[in-house]
Amino acid sequence: MKRWQFWLGLLISAGFLYLALRGLRFGEVWGALQGANYWWLIPGIAIYFLGVWARAWRWHYLLRPLKKISTRAMFPIVTIGYMGNNIYPARAGEVLRAYVLKRKEGVAVSASLATILVERIFDGVVMLMFVFVNLPELARLSGASGVVGSIQTVALWGTLAFVGALAVFLVTAMMPVSAARLYGWFVDRCLPARFRERVRGLLDKFLSGLASLRSPRDVLMVFVTSLVIWLFETGKYWFVMHAFGFRVSFFALMLMNGIVNLATTIPSAPGYVGTFDAPGIAVLKAYGVNGALAAGYTLVLHVALWVPITALGAWYMTKESLSWGQVQKAMGDTREAGEIPA
């Protein structure tokens, strides 16, 4: 990883941690943690892994035009990728799972990265839906929640970004010949001759990864699956809430899930330290939950989201006899071969 990205992430995480922890009495937070009923984590973790299985199915569905791979075969690769996102900076797990997919199934890295980018765009759209479904609550949240800036403004710009990106991808996927002609025109006129063939090959493979978006039915299936995935994850929020002594509505937890996951798109330290916690605590405080209780809940939820998928992904990575050093070297070779950008 580039060092400046790592240090920038640490700095941003430190700022969000300051927002999360200021004004809290740590004795009260410890008391909330001691009083929790941790048996509720079991169904929470179980429903979360149903969501991970749904993620594997979605990726299998997006990859069908390239190669038919079973959901069962995709599941370990997805967990390895999410483990990578949790312990390496800059969402390196996305490149990691693209590499593991190539290693096991022979799918070009640039093509699988295109499908992963499609996943992220649909995830962003669903997160913004969770926010806008709860628009009446945003007025309360933006007042004294401790989150920097206006949530409404962030949601508006986020909508423009994600929906705009989705529109570009859909048009590109549905008009592949025109898209290839357009980027070919730019490549021929904007790049030195020695780079043109490599960049054309990279863009061709990337375009092939968008093939699943050419059918309205497939687009609808990916969207519905994305919605199911995030409802499963909100279900985990709901179960973990029952471990603590407060209650808010499922819609409030959808709002929390949406805001928290939009915040984690901000560069941060590995594991989304701070960027997950500060907005999570702020949402619950806006609903009248005691600050210490909100902090204890958010900490436990963060750990419960981080540890199981990271442990399982690490186990699958060990089973594949892979080390991060091997992956870095292989990715360098892949860049040299022109499959991903330098």
Q: Give per-residue pLDDT as tens, 13-30.
A: 899 888 888 888 889 999
pLDDT at residue 277, as a whole number: 92
Task: Say which residue the tokens 């984590």 belong to.
Answer: 41
Which pLDDT tens digit goes with each residue over 232-252?
Answer: 999 999 999 999 989 999 998
Looking at residue 146, what is its pLDDT? Answer: 46
Averaged pLDDT score across all residues of the chain:
84
Residue 325 has pLDDT above 90, yes or no: no
Q: Report how far residue 21's alpha carbon sits from residue 220's, in angstroms, rounded to the nearest whole number.
A: 41
Query: What per-residue confidence (pLDDT) applies to 304?
Result: 96
Query: Can you tell me the mean pLDDT for 116-134?
Result: 86
Rounded to 5°, the CA angle 77-159-303 comes to 45
Pinpoint the alpha helices (H) of the chain: 3-21, 26-34, 41-63, 71-87, 92-105, 109-133, 135-144, 151-174, 176-190, 193-208, 216-241, 250-263, 277-286, 291-319, 324-336
Q: What is the DSSP code (8-state) at residue 338?
A: T
State the pLDDT confidence band at 160, using cuts at 50, 70 and 90.
Answer: confident
- Going by pLDDT thresholds of 50, 70 and 90, the confidence category of residue 312 is very high
CB–CB of 107/339 below 8 Å? no
pLDDT digits (tens, 9 = 90+) for 206-229: 777 777 778 888 889 999 999 999
Distance CA 223, CA 122 (A): 6
Query: Reduced to 3 states, what is the DSSP secondary structure of residue 254?
Result: helix
| Distance set, CA 218 to CA 109, 130, 162 (Å) | 22, 22, 18
**pLDDT beyond 80 at 123:** yes
Q: Give me the torsion for CA of 49, 109, 222, 78, rounded to 10°.
A: 0
- Residue 121 pLDDT grade (very low, low, confident, very high; cuts 50, 70, 90): confident
Across 99-109, average pLDDT: 90
Decide: residue 127, CB within 10 A, 0-12 exposed, 13-18 middle, 19+ buried: buried
pLDDT by residue (tens digit) across 267-277?
888 889 989 99
- Per-residue model confidence (pLDDT) at position 267: 82
Higher pLDDT, 70 or 245: 70
Provide the residue count of the chain.
Answer: 342
Of the pLDDT bands very low, low, confident and very high (cuts 50, 70, 90), residue 201 is: confident
Asked whether residue 334 carries a pLDDT value surpassing 60, the answer given is: no
For residues 138 and 125, which has the higher predicted lDDT (pLDDT)? 125
Which of 47-56, 123-132, 151-160 has the weakest average pLDDT?
151-160
Label residue 117 exposed, middle or buried (CB < 10 Å: 0-12, 13-18, 19+).
Answer: middle
3-state SS assignment for residue 79: helix
Quote the CA–CA distance of 214 and 194 in Å, as a whole number.
Answer: 32
- Report d(CA 97, CA 331) in Å as an integer: 11
- Give pLDDT, residue 77: 96
State the Rg of the chain over Cα.
Answer: 21
Q: What is residue 330's predicted lDDT score, i.e. its pLDDT?
A: 62
Of residues 125, 135, 146, the one with CA closest to residue 283: 146
CB-based burial, 178-197: b 16+ in 10 Å, e otherwise: ebeeebeeebeeeeeeeeee
Q: Among 61, 65, 60, 105, which Cα is nearest to 205's?
A: 65
Nearest to 123 by CA among 265, 5, 244, 307: 265
Percent of the chain residues topping a pLDDT of 70 = 87
Report whether 63 contacts 98 (CB < 8 A): no
What amino acid occupies position 133?
A: V
201 versus 39: the higher-pLDDT residue is 39
pLDDT of residue 63: 92
Confidence at 49, pLDDT banded by 50, 70, 90:
very high
Spans of all domains in the chain: 3-336
52 closest CA partner among 310, 315, 323: 310
